[in-house]
Amino acid sequence: MTIVRYPIVEVFESLQGEGTHSGIGATFVRLAGCNLRCSWCDTTHSFAVDKATTYTTGELIEAFSFKQPLVVITGGEPTLHDLGPLVRELHNRKKYVCIETNGTNPIPIEWGINWITVSPKPQSGYTITCPADELKYVVDDEFKLEFIRFDLVKQGRVFLQIESGRLESAKKAYDMIIRNPDLHLRLGVQLHKVVGFE
């Protein structure tokens, strides 16, 4: 059996600041490597796999406490790695496991992810090749409502994220929500940054 080693950029505790689980305490596991290069990315430090520290599942669990009820696996793009062994061990520890992905790679059902957040990116043509529990779209200057895949999620699970705190982005997202009440769109803010935590 092949032992999976994960390139870890950081593991930290904070509030889940975005989406449906906003405000819940979470342990974040940030994996290195990404298949896209978005101009407004706020985690460019996660691109370089060769600069990350690698851990097996056992080493990772031993090195960090994982005290919070929620574990959010993010990146970079976490689906570049086999997350099955890690998710199974987290489930053994009664954790609710979420993933944040750009949606360009399949997510095997065998991984057993509890919640899938897909944030489609313009660089991939907003392609989504995996299931989604919620969608988060960054509202940049080019974003249009027709990019949204409403068919993939339940009503009320589409978030319009403000781009890098830009007022123009916030206004555009606000206008889209107010002018289209039938779409049940939600404004996405980064709560952890609003209250001053990372």
Binding site as annotated, residues for substrate: 15-17, 30, 74
Structural element, H or E, at residue 71: strand 70-74
Annotated binding site for Mg(2+): 43
Annotated binding site: 15-17, 30, 34, 38, 40-43, 74, 76, 119-121
Annotated binding site for [4Fe-4S] cluster: 34, 38, 41
- β-bridge mates for residue 74, sequence order: 30
**Dist. CA 79–CA 131, nearest whole Å:** 13
Contact call for residues 18 and 161 (beta carbons, < 8 A)? yes
Contacts of 104 (CB under 8 A, 6+ apart): 35, 36, 77, 79, 121, 124, 127, 128, 129
- Of the candidates 56, 37, 57, the residue with the CA atom closest to the CA atom of residue 46: 37
**Dist. CA 138–CA 119, nearest whole Å:** 8
